[in-house]
Amino acid sequence: MPCFNEEEIIGRFHDQVTKELESLAADFAVEFELVYVDDGSHDRTLSLIEGIAASDSRTRYVSFSRNFGKEAAMLAGLQHAGGDVVVLMDADLQHPPELIRRMLRLHGEGFDQVMARRTRAGDRVTRTLAARVYYRLINRLVDVELVDGVGDFRLLSRRTVDAVLELTEYNRFSKGLFAWVGFRTTTFTYENVRREQGRSKWTFGKLLNYGLDGLISFNDKPLRAALHLGLLLVSVAMAYATWIVGVALVKGVDAPGYVTLLVTVTALAGVQMVMLGLVGEYVGRIYYEVKRRPHFLVKAANTPVPHRRPRGE
């Protein structure tokens, strides 16, 4: 569970999820542990987690030196989770713990990844629409399939977790990484739950950047698209030039259009800026990758880093 400033809800979350897991542990004859990752919260989240861990030996936690983002927090969670099966979930109760039962059942049927897909009920219309357009676009552009409404609430088998951990890239777009890993995958839909307490950390700007990340961090098709657009523009320009020359030959030289010129120049400058920015994005990503910085730094933890239980133990 990645947690960032969740002091209002984390206690309630823990109670509910533990209750659910205890009943699952009895029904499925399994053991469980909880791994909380405090993503550099500014509020009392860490001390609350420490309190929980002190009274519940099944709880382990890692706390970051600052806010590294949810992707880093999930990575840390996967690294520290020792189970044969790992469930990733938000700590704000928007991912209903009751659904874990369904996930486990599907896992029992042989699925490696069980994804919970939320409906968009209660979302703002603009956000729903934007998401729909975005997913249509992105699925045309990236090789892996991304599904609208599928978030990070999912069950992963041990081999899937290990595979995801092999992907050590710095820019992590988990939705894409999980899809890239593959294995036997299934999805079920659940009714969207609104956040009761605390606030979503997603602002419009953050969402926009996340969307761009998804587009760019996954493959180089946008570069190819830029190339195609460039070629298209060159052919249009050549056709236009031929036409102008033809007209000049037949009718004599005409006074050149000032507006046409201005519009063409600004439009092309805009296109060039966008393409340059696009290339810059890729170069920037290479820059971050070659630095090889850690994904996060740990400030406090009650578990060794990274924890991996040997298989079959």
**Residue ranges in contact with ligand UDP by CB under 6 A:** 2-4, 6, 39, 67, 69-70, 73, 90-92, 94, 195, 200-202
Task: Show contacts of 277-286: CB within 8 Å, 24+ apart.
Answer: 278/216, 278/222, 278/223, 278/226, 279/223, 279/226, 281/212, 281/216, 282/216, 282/220, 282/223, 285/170, 285/171, 285/216, 285/217
Tokens representing 282 are 């890729």
Q: What residues are paired with 35 via a beta bridge?
A: 60
Tell me the C-alpha distance between 135 and 111, whole Å. 24
| Window 188-207: contact mask with Mg ion (x via CB under 5 A) | -------x------------
- Least separation in angstroms between CB 207 and Mg ion: 13
72 or 89: whose CB is closer to Mg ion? 89
- Least separation in angstroms between CB 90 and Mg ion: 5
Tell me the C-alpha distance between 178 and 150, whole Å. 11
- Least separation in angstroms between CB 245 and ligand UDP: 57
- Least separation in angstroms between CB 7 and ligand UDP: 10
187 binds, options Mg ion, ligand UDP, none, Cβ within 5 to 8 A by partner type: none
105 or 195: whose CB is closer to Mg ion? 195
Q: Does 5 bind Mg ion (CB under 5 A)?
A: no
Q: Which 148-177 positions form the footprint of Mg ion (CB under 5 A)?
A: none
Q: Which 103-142 positions form the footprint of Mg ion (CB under 5 A)?
A: none
**SS3 of residue 186 by DSSP:** strand
Binder to Mg ion among 7, 92, 112, 213 (CB under 5 A)? 92
- Least separation in angstroms between CB 185 and ligand UDP: 21
Which residues lie closer than 8 Å to 228 by C-beta, 6 or more apart?
none
- Least separation in angstroms between CB 222 and ligand UDP: 25
112 binds, options Mg ion, ligand UDP, none, Cβ within 5 to 8 A by partner type: none
The residue count for binding Mg ion (CB under 5 A) is 3
| Residue whose C-alpha is closest to residue 1's, from 120, 95, 108, 122 | 95
13 or 218: whose CB is closer to Mg ion? 13
Q: Does 94 bind Mg ion (CB under 5 A)?
A: yes
Q: Are 84 and 152 in contact (CB under 8 A)?
A: no
| Residue whose C-alpha is closest to residue 99's, from 155, 33, 22 | 155
What does residue 38 show for φ and ψ, rounded to 5 degrees? -85, 115
202 binds, options Mg ion, ligand UDP, none, Cβ within 5 to 8 A by partner type: ligand UDP
Tell me the C-alpha distance between 153 and 118, whole Å. 9
9 or 181: whose CB is closer to Mg ion? 9
Give residues in contact with Mg ion (CB under 5 A).
Answer: 92, 94, 195
